[in-house]
Amino acid sequence: MAKQAKQKEPKKQGAAQTPKTGIPSSTGFAFGKENYRLLFIGLALILVGFLLMIGGGSDDPNVFSDKIFNFRRLTLAPILILAGYVVEIFAIMKKPKD
């Protein structure tokens, strides 16, 4: 008379499963393809910004050079670096498409 009751296994929490196969649909990576692309673009912007700051010094330490105060070093390079950091933050925060 005693029926053996089928015990249900607890559902595992984690990756979503596809309805037909039950195989997890996520690839296991934290970022998607677009996130990595944006990360590399941001890294390139930061690198270009720092490269634009290089130079402008004088060969003779007794002679002052005004080249260190040009538009490229004081304005353009910091803007590129900040833009690179903004792109990096956006790439990290953006949800990958499944």
Q: Along the 98 residues of the chain, how does pLDDT read in single tens digits?
A: 555 655 555 555 555 555 666 555 566 788 899 999 999 999 999 999 999 999 877 788 888 888 889 999 999 999 999 999 999 999 999 998 76
What's the start-to-end Cα distance of the chain, in Å?
49
Contact 18, 67 (CB under 8 A): no
Per-residue model confidence (pLDDT) at position 66: 85
Dihedral, 51, 53, 56, 57 alpha carbons, nearest 10: -100
Give the model's pLDDT for residue 33.
92
Mapped onto helix, strand or coil, the DSSP state of residue 62 is coil
What DSSP string describes 78-98?
Answer: HHHHHHHHHHHHHHHHSPPP-
Q: What pLDDT does 12 receive?
A: 53
CA 98 to chain centre: 18
Whole-number pLDDT of residue 93: 95
CA distances from 19 to 10, 14, 23, 25, 74 (A): 17, 15, 8, 10, 56
pTM of the model: 0.68
Confidence (pLDDT) at 94? 92
